[in-house]
């Protein structure tokens, strides 16, 4: 990213702020464009990352629903990290077309504008809820994934597009863990189902994996990190040793367990040491053998028939003690540690 013009959509969210900090710490971009529709969050972010004349940071108010604004903001941009989305499962169930306009139409707007402006690389952020979706949010993210991957069919080598799919980000906005911490004093915790499991990743790990994908992408791949799972009840136990659980029932569109790679995806999935790559159902324009060989020393091989990557059958589960350590690290509760 040295000397490049980098654009982050939805950049005032949890991921965007961490990505901006990481890029500025590790690289020397020519410009780092913060694009979002929330002027208050941009004002707050400007305190940490000022847009002074000697800084590469630039702020653009805009919405990915507005293609004309995207065309203007993407002039001379080299790399896009697409993080903008409406992400609340409940919100999506009750406001379906609003979520479609942002997650699906907005993504297509970004793709169209990026191709027009000859952007080199686009990495879109996805979610485990896009694999075999049972709710509208997951369905819109699956559509967004398909739009990004399929765009490689008509861009040629000029613009390459790929996707990164990962699980729940620990401590991000909307995460259940901050809500559980609020219930810690009373010791009463609401859970939807005691059997529930989830994939988890820290915010910094998510940013690092996306930046890895920016460097490693050839176009059309979906990158999936190998990350741990947790049991919802273990998270509660990590926060309170003797919790009083109130079971409220699964919410509309919610799953007991999440998937990141389905058995159907497995036909086109390559495994590496620390991640998987799901290839498009149609053969990519580049050589798969060369793709795997150039990933040395981490050479990729196809997964076995019938493989799936599910949060409940994942061989890597976090223990209660490991969860305590992560929650203390990620949510800053060291003054009153678990």
Which tens digit of pLDDT belongs to each residue from 58-95? 999 999 999 999 999 999 999 999 999 999 998 999 99
Mean pLDDT of the chain: 94
Q: Return the ∠ at Cα 261 (arms to 260 and 262), rounded to 5°.
A: 120
The CATH number given to whatever domain includes residue 22 is 3.40.50.720
In a domain, 104, yes or no: yes
Domain count, the chain: 1
Pick from 132, 112, 134, 133: which is nearest to 122 by CA? 112
Q: DSSP readout, 87-109?
A: --HHHHHHSHHHHHIIIIIHHHH
Predicted local confidence at residue 330, as pLDDT? 85
Looking at the DSSP bridge assignments, the partners of residue 122 are 80, 161
Given the residues 129, 141, 255, 324, select the one marked as catalytic: 129
Predicted local confidence at residue 284, as pLDDT? 85
In a domain, 249, yes or no: no
State the DSSP code for 102: I
Predicted local confidence at residue 289, as pLDDT? 87
In a domain, 238, yes or no: no
In a domain, 31, yes or no: yes
Range of the domain at 100: 5-166+201-225+259-309
Answer for the pair 226, 135: CB distance below 8 angstroms, yes or no. no
Predicted local confidence at residue 195, as pLDDT? 97
pTM, rounded to two decimals: 0.95
Element (H, E) at 126: strand 121-127
Sign of CA pseudo-dihedral 129, 295, 20, 226: positive
Q: Which residue has the tokens 């169930």?
A: 93
Measured between alpha carbons, how far is 78 from 56 in angstroms, rounded to an integer? Answer: 14
Predicted local confidence at residue 103, as pLDDT? 98
In a domain, 144, yes or no: yes
Which tens digit of pLDDT belongs to each residue from 3-56? 999 999 999 999 999 999 999 999 999 999 999 999 999 999 999 999 999 999
Predicted local confidence at residue 336, as pLDDT? 66
Which tens digit of pLDDT belongs to each residue from 163-176? 999 999 987 766 78
In a domain, 18, yes or no: yes
Which tens digit of pLDDT belongs to each residue from 302-319? 999 999 999 999 999 999
Predicted local confidence at residue 326, as pLDDT? 93
Looking at the DSSP bridge assignments, the partners of residue 199 are 229
State the DSSP code for 248: -
Predicted local confidence at residue 334, as pLDDT? 53
Predicted local confidence at residue 253, as pLDDT? 85
Which tens digit of pLDDT belongs to each residue from 89-98? 989 999 999 9
Predicted local confidence at residue 338, as pLDDT? 65
In a domain, 267, yes or no: yes
Which tens digit of pLDDT belongs to each residue from 321-338? 999 999 998 887 654 666
118-137: b or e for each residue (b if 16 or more CB lie within 10 Å)? ebbbbbbbbbbbbbbbebbb
In this prediction, residue 134 has a pLDDT band, given cuts at 50, 70 and 90, of: very high
Answer for the pair 118, 160: CB distance below 8 angstroms, yes or no. no
Predicted local confidence at residue 137, as pLDDT? 97
Which tens digit of pLDDT belongs to each residue from 217-263? 999 999 999 999 999 999 999 999 999 999 999 988 889 999 999 99
In this prediction, residue 113 has a pLDDT band, given cuts at 50, 70 and 90, of: very high
In this prediction, residue 101 has a pLDDT band, given cuts at 50, 70 and 90, of: very high
Q: Which residue has the tokens 């003690």?
A: 321
In a domain, 235, yes or no: no
Instruction: Report the relative pairing of strands 168-169 and 188-191 from DSSP bridges.
Output: unpaired
Q: Which residue has the tokens 């981490």?
A: 298
Residue 146 a catalytic site member? no
Predicted local confidence at residue 148, as pLDDT? 98
Tokens read off for 187: 């010791």
Predicted local confidence at residue 174, as pLDDT? 67
Measured between alpha carbons, how far is 191 from 158 in angstroms, rounded to an integer? Answer: 48
């Amino acid at each position: 990213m040295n000397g490049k013009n980098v654009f982050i959509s939805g950049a005032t969210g949890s991921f965007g702020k961490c990505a901006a900090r990481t890029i500025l710490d590790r690289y020397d971009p020519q410009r780092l464009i913060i694009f979002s529709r929330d002027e208050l969050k941009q004002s707050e972010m400007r305190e940490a990352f000022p847009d002074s004349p000697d800084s590469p940071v630039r702020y653009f108010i805009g919405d990915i629903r507005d293609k004309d604004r995207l065309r203007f903001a993407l002039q001379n941009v080299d790399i896009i990290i697409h993080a903008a989305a409406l992400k609340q499962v409940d919100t999506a169930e009750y406001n379906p077309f609003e979520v479609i306009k942002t997650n699906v139409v907005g993504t297509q707007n970004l793709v169209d504008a990026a191709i027009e402006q000859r952007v080199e690389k686009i990495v879109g952020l996805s979610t485990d809820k896009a694999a075999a979706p049972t709710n509208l949010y997951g369905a819109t993210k699956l559509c967004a994934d398909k739009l990004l991957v399929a765009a490689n069919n008509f861009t040629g080598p000029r613009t390459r597009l790929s996707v990164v799919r990962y699980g729940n980000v620990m401590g991000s906005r909307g995460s259940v863990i901050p809500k559980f911490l609020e219930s810690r004093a009373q010791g009463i915790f609401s859970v939807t189902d005691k059997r529930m499991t989830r994939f988890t990743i820290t915010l910094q790990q998510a940013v690092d994996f996306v930046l890895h994908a920016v460097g490693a992408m050839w176009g059309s791949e979906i990158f999936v990190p190998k990350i741990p799972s947790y049991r919802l009840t273990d998270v509660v136990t990590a926060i309170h040793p003797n919790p009083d659980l109130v079971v409220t029932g699964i919410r509309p569109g919610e799953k007991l367990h999440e998937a990141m790679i389905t058995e159907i995806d497995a036909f086109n999935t390559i495994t590496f040491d620390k991640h998987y790559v799901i290839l498009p159902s149609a053969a990519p324009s580049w050589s798969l053998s060369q793709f795997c060989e150039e990933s040395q020393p981490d050479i990729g091989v196809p997964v076995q028939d019938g493989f799936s990557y599910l949060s409940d059958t994942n061989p890597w589960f976090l223990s209660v003690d490991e969860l305590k350590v992560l929650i203390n690290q990620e949510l800053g509760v060291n003054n009153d540690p678990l």
